[in-house]
A and B are shown apart, each in its own frame.
Chain A
Amino acid sequence: MANIAVQRIKRELKEVLNSDEVARCSIHVELVGESFAELKGEIAGPPDTPYEGARFQLEIKIPETYPFNPPKVRFVTKIWHPNVSSVTGAICLDILKHQWAAAMTLRTVLLSLQALLASPEPDDPQDAVVARQCKDKPQIFHLTAQHWANAYAGGPSINTDYENKIRRLKDLGVTEMNARASLSSCDWDLERATEQIFS
């Protein structure tokens, strides 16, 4: 790996670890292996959002040409958010693409992602289904996001109605993950979700 990239990552790790956010446990970064090419990130769901109380794991890959090209970041933890693919975890965020600037750091990336969780941009979506729900049925979107945060990211609120619906589908032999995805995309309409799965 290019020297400048390694140099930068070392400095940035130090910067993150000494930052106020780490002290407040809101972000965290650590190396994966020895090479500085891959890191593991973690962000806390921001307060007053459906993600509050949950923690999200991120995969961060540092390209050879870092910091002149952006790091490749993806959600490992499943999340229900208009700008993150509910299937792959791919993120749609301008600073991870054309708006990347060499002077940005891992810390600013993680903080931007946190800000993205707090203010979704359904008009510039990564996941069309989630984005539509977010715009048309904000109430359901909020509950669904909360439910996913609970199921995958250790969020605190349990939604017994949703849990029951998932169980009904599980009884029909559907895996929990598929059941949740289908129900979520059908606005928790059990009939439509069943139809979607079995047609």
Chain B
Amino acid sequence: MDSDEDIMYDDDYDDSGNESSGDDDVEFAMVEEPNNPKERQELDEYPYEVLTTEQILQHMNECMKEVNIVVEMPSTVIRMLLNHFRWDKEKLMERYYDGDPEKLFTEAHVASPFAKMAVPAKIAKKEHRRTGPSVEECEICLSTLPSSVMSGLECGHRFCVSCWAEYLTTKIMSEGIGQTISCAAHNCEILIDDATVMKLVPDAKVRLKYQHLITNSFVECNRLLRWCPSPDCSSVIRVQHVESRPVTCRCGHTFCFACGNNWHEPVRCTLLRKWIKKCDDDSETSNWIAANTKECPKCKATIEKDGGCNHMVCKNSHCKTEFCWVCLGPWEPHGTSWYNCNRYDEDEARAARDAQERSRAALQRYLFYCNRYMNHMQSLRLEHKHYATVKEKMEEMQQHNMSWIEVQFLKKAVDILCQCRQTLMYTYVFAYYLKKNNQSVIFEDNQRDLETATEKLSEYLERDITQENLVDIKQKVQDKYRYCDSRRRVLAEHVYEGYDKEWWEYND
């Protein structure tokens, strides 16, 4: 019954109300639809699916199978190779057939599945010579043990199973490494495959964590997958192509697929990220973060320095960039001249003082926008409380001879109120970075219109529904929310049009 464009917005709240939105909404849809043909086509076609953890595993296995059909190797080797190429099958195949597969195995730190037989035999011989036919010394616990309890990979380093278990448990549980656990021997970079890990780790809890780490790296390395960011939700959204679009998880959380933040129309992800960082900088925690951490220059992970060296290696498993802590530049050139970084520069100091003055003015400006942003965020949180009061009101109205369908307009009004608040909130982010020009003036007018209308709607829902005559208030609320909704669309369309036609110029 709801028009198509509503589904985009309403799915998250409207679980019970969709087929029941009633005559109001039919009317509403008929009025609205012809007005917005452009937005419909723009917003509707973004197919995505929500996957459970099991489905992810299945998906991962399918990817591996596809490769396995072409290159016949054990699935664990394929998984490690795929991980090395960040799950880009084509790249893996290309490299596998183009060049030297052995070189590929070395690069990915994978024990070559073809050399399986040769190496252990050699090592075994060496061990035999040293310690007799059936005992070996484990280099970790330094105990002499029968060969039957010793284990190792194709690299030939062998340790006793209990040391292996302990080693893997430490890596998995305290260091949180799954995909890239290497052999326990010094300087041996051969990675341990999952079959071996599962065989050597006796504790089910550790194994579960390991599986989680593996799926996690699969999801994180895969551009078309993203974990639902809401707490305690373990679903994954899978899309056909990456775009900044709203997706709604099974748990009801709606977020932007491209950046993972709450859906932030009309502002774009890059600006939002900048903004969030800026806002965070003002809180206590972030003061600490700003004082003690920096971002990896490549993957933007926040890094705390816990040792004295300025030679940093990003711990993010798919990044591993080496850079200089002082200047955040690549480490490579620092090999010979790292100390350029702590040379005090007189010109820079003067520039810094000028910058301070400028930054004071900038702060004033920032506070203006931040205030309004926070204010809408706060209101949005409070509006969510309206759902409870509105529900009460709806029940009361039903006792006054109104049908269930007739009172649904109230819920719809709160839905729209929340959407408007959310959009308004992000318009301030957009406005903060916007340079003044003719279009930005139009944008600000739109913003003001929407804001005034939204406040009015909020006021109706907060106060007037308790005082006025029910029939009157219904008319008033419906008129208002339709107006709000149309203003919100106008504003968003204008911003999108601006993106297309490159009207917008940004500060910074």
Contact = CB atoms under 8 A, between A and B. Distances in A.
Q: Does more than half of chain A's interface fall in helix, strand or loop, or is it mixed?
A: loop
Interface stretch (B25-33, B84-92, B183-191, B194-202): B183-191
B8 interface: no
Contacts of A103: 139-140, 157, 159, 184-186
12 contacts: A4-B141, A68-B171, A95-B186, A99-B186, A102-B140, A102-B184, A123-B335, A124-B309, A125-B308, A127-B308, A131-B338, A132-B339
Nearest to B308: A126
B240 interface: no
B174 A65 contact: yes
A24 interface: no
Contact of A101 (B143, B187, B339): B187
Interface in A92-140: 92, 95, 97-99, 101-104, 123-128, 131-132, 135
Contacts of B166: 4, 68
A142 interface: no
Contacts of A131: 338-339
B99 interface: no
A69 B308 contact: no
A199 interface: no
B334 A123 contact: yes
Interface of B: 139-143, 157, 159, 162-163, 166-167, 170-171, 174, 184-188, 307-311, 313, 334-336, 338-339, 342
Contacts of A104: 186
Contacts of B311: 124
A132 B338 CA distance: 9
A34 B162 CA distance: 26
A103 B142 CA distance: 9
Interface in A1-59: 4, 7-8, 11-12
A14 to B, nearest CB: 9
Contacts of B174: 65, 69
B319 to A, nearest CB: 15
Contacts of A146: none
A67 interface: yes
Contacts of B308: 85, 90, 92, 125-127
A65 B139 CA distance: 16
A60 to B, nearest CB: 17
B307 A97 contact: yes
Given A67-B140, A92-B308, A92-B309, 14 more contacts: A4-B163, A4-B166, A98-B313, A101-B186, A101-B187, A102-B163, A103-B139, A103-B185, A103-B186, A123-B334, A123-B336, A125-B310, A128-B339, A131-B338
A4 B162 CA distance: 10
Nearest to B171: A68
Contacts of A95: 186
B335 A7 contact: no
A104 B187 CA distance: 11
Nearest to A65: B170
A128 B166 CA distance: 37
B187 to A, nearest CB: 7
A4 B138 CA distance: 12
A170 to B, nearest CB: 29
Contacts of B162: 4
A97 to B, nearest CB: 7
A123 B331 CA distance: 10
A98 B174 CA distance: 14
B170 A128 contact: no
A8 to B, nearest CB: 6
A104 B142 CA distance: 11
Contacts of A8: 140-142
Contacts of A65: 170, 174
Q: Which of A12, A103, A125 has the most CB of B within 10 A?
A: A103
Nearest to B143: A7
A99 B334 CA distance: 21
Contact of B342 (A99, A124, A128): A128
Contacts of A7: 141-143
Nearest to B173: A65
A193 to B, nearest CB: 18
Nearest to A100: B186
Q: Which of A4, A11, A85, A90 has the most CB of B within 10 A?
A: A4
B329 to A, nearest CB: 15
B7 to A, nearest CB: 50
Contacts of A102: 139-140, 159, 163, 167, 184
A135 B339 contact: yes
A126 B338 CA distance: 12
Nearest to A104: B186
Nearest to A105: B142
A50 to B, nearest CB: 21
Contacts of B141: 4, 7-8
A89 to B, nearest CB: 11
A101 B186 CA distance: 5
A68 B167 contact: yes
Nearest to B170: A68
A69 B142 contact: no
A123 B337 CA distance: 8
A101 B309 contact: no
Nearest to A96: B307
Nearest to A69: B170
A90 B140 CA distance: 26
Contacts of B342: 128
A198 B308 CA distance: 27
A119 B434 CA distance: 55
B210 to A, nearest CB: 16
